[in-house]
């Protein structure tokens, strides 16, 4: 069964509290063979699906993000040999538009039925009415999720968080005798002219637009100060390029084509551990808090929904969340999950840096998406 004893409740704790509480706990990483003992059967809380049900799951690719989902899938299919569970991998930025289009063109056959989605796209999907509600009564592990990280109406749930700060090429900084970046405003430092890369729109949270607007007197309700900074930077040659995938960002910085970019700590750290010349800086104004969760897509059949909730339920098992977070350097947001002690030594997860994370107004971002995209294309991309 996808269930286990709740031995470390954390309901109501802040992320800083979670870090402090979990700092002394141990964590043994379970490999594929380690998953087998507790992923051996269907959840007793989910109605049996049709033997011939076929569904498609989306998961992120690279940096350890896809290891645990495939392990869970393998173990699930061992006990459900007649179920077909296809996997689509990529980024939310490229996958979400395909989901929206598929719902418009074939309402009962969405591009994917469920999967992993970040807070920006989970919120955008809520505004666009893309998600179906999960049914906690049919998911024995749903109770382990923290209430403050559930979407209204249970149309999604967050299980982990990965902060966003500044990634930079350590070799370049060392050669030039520079200290690591210290502020979001460093992105606009003239010494980096022509060497600053950004996510392309509409990745507003992690391409720096919103935080830049905040640094220069704006907000999610007044993006103009940020848009003006980006527009001027494009005209003056500050921006090296805009990218659309994690791998592109990695290649740009490792090659030295770009020197600095806003980026996810959890995605970058595995690259650095493997020897890539990459560093991560926590801006003095704060990292951006960035939650990661699960959503179920509108148009999925009742059998596909039952299958989706069953697999999501398995992914919410504390030991599975622990493993995923260890692979991806993420903060767990599920009760009963121990936080790797070694993480407390990382700047991104020092209590003060967790406490001071910047909390964005995701709904306002989602509501402004189309307007911002039009301005971005006309004022930023058009001037590169």
Could you tell me the pTM of the whole model?
0.80
Percent of the chain with pLDDT over 70: 87
42 pLDDT above the threshold of 80:
no
The CATH number of 164-288+359-383 is: 3.40.190.10
**Span 31-161+290-343 CATH architecture:** 3-Layer(aba) Sandwich (3.40)
Can you say how many angstroms the Cα of residue 70 is from the centroid of all Cα atoms in its chain? 17
Same fold, 31-161+290-343 and 164-288+359-383: yes
In angstroms, the CA 176 to CA 104 distance is 52
A 10 A CB-CB count for 301 gives: 16
Query: Which three-class secondary structure state does DSSP give residue 378?
Result: helix
pLDDT of residue 206: 87
Q: What is the pLDDT of residues 354-371, one digit of tens each?
A: 888 999 999 999 999 999
- Higher pLDDT, residue 44 or 279: 279
Contacts of 175 (CB under 8 A, 6+ apart): none
**Dihedral over alpha carbons 377, 210, 152, 136 (to 10 degrees):** 90
Q: What is the pLDDT of residues 186-241, one digit of tens each?
A: 999 999 999 999 999 998 988 999 999 999 999 999 999 999 999 999 999 999 99
Percent of the chain with pLDDT over 90: 72
In angstroms, the CA 127 to CA 147 distance is 20
25-29, 94-98, 163-167, 178-182 — which is least confidently predicted? 25-29
A 10 A CB-CB count for 299 gives: 17
In angstroms, the CA 165 to CA 381 distance is 23
pLDDT of residue 350: 86
In angstroms, the CA 317 to CA 170 distance is 37
The mean of the pLDDT values for the chain is: 86
**Dihedral over alpha carbons 180, 184, 185, 189 (to 10 degrees):** 40
40 pLDDT above the threshold of 50:
no
47 pLDDT above the threshold of 60:
no
Domain range annotation of the chain: 31-161+290-343, 164-288+359-383
Q: What is the pLDDT of residues 141-178, one digit of tens each?
A: 999 999 999 999 999 999 999 899 999 999 999 999 99
HSE at residue 273, side-chain half, CA atoms within 13 A, is 13
Q: What is the pLDDT of residues 216-225, one digit of tens each?
A: 999 999 999 9
pLDDT of residue 36: 42
29-35 average pLDDT score: 36
101-126 average pLDDT score: 96
pLDDT of residue 236: 97
């Amino acid at each position: 069964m996808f269930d286990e004893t709740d031995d470390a409740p954390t309901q109501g704790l802040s992320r800083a509290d979670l870090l402090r509480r979990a700092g002394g706990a141990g964590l043994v990483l379970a490999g594929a063979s380690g998953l087998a003992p507790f992923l051996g059967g269907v959840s007793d809380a989910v109605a049996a699906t049709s033997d011939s049900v076929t569904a498609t799951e989306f998961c992120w690719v690279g940096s350890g993000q896809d290891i645990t989902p495939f392990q869970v899938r393998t173990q699930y299919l061992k006990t459900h040999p007649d179920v077909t569970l296809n996997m689509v991998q990529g980024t939310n930025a490229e996958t979400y538009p395909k989901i929206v289009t598929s719902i418009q063109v074939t309402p009962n056959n969405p591009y994917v039925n469920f999967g992993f989605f970040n807070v920006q796209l989970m919120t955008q999907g809520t505004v666009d009415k893309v998600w179906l509600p999960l049914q906690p009564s049919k998911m024995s592990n749903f109770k382990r999720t923290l209430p403050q990280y559930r979407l209204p109406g249970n149309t999604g749930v967050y299980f982990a968080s990965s902060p966003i700060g500044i990634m930079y090429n350590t070799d370049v900084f060392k050669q030039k005798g520079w200290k690591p970046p210290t502020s979001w405003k460093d992105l606009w430092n003239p010494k980096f002219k022509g060497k600053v890369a950004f996510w392309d729109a509409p990745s507003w949270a992690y391409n720096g637009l919103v935080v830049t607007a905040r640094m220069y007197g704006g907000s999610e309700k007044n993006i103009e100060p940020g848009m003006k900074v980006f527009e001027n930077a494009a005209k003056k040659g500050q921006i090296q390029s805009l990218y659309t995938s994690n791998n592109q960002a990695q290649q740009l910085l490792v090659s030295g084509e770009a020197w600095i970019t806003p980026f996810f700590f959890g995605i970058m750290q595995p690259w650095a551990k493997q020897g890539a010349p990459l560093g991560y800086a926590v801006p003095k104004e704060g990292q951006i808090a960035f939650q990661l969760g699960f959503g179920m897509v509108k148009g999925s059949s009742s059998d596909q929904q039952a299958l989706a909730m069953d697999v999501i339920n398995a992914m919410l098992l504390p030991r599975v969340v622990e493993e995923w977070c260890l692979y991806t350097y993420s903060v767990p947001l599920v009760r009963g999950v121990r936080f790797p002690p070694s993480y407390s030594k990382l700047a991104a997860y020092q209590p003060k840096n967790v406490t001071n994370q910047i909390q964005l107004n995701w709904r306002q971002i989602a509501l402004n998406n189309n307007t911002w995209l039009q301005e971005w294309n006309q004022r930023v991309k058009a001037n590169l």
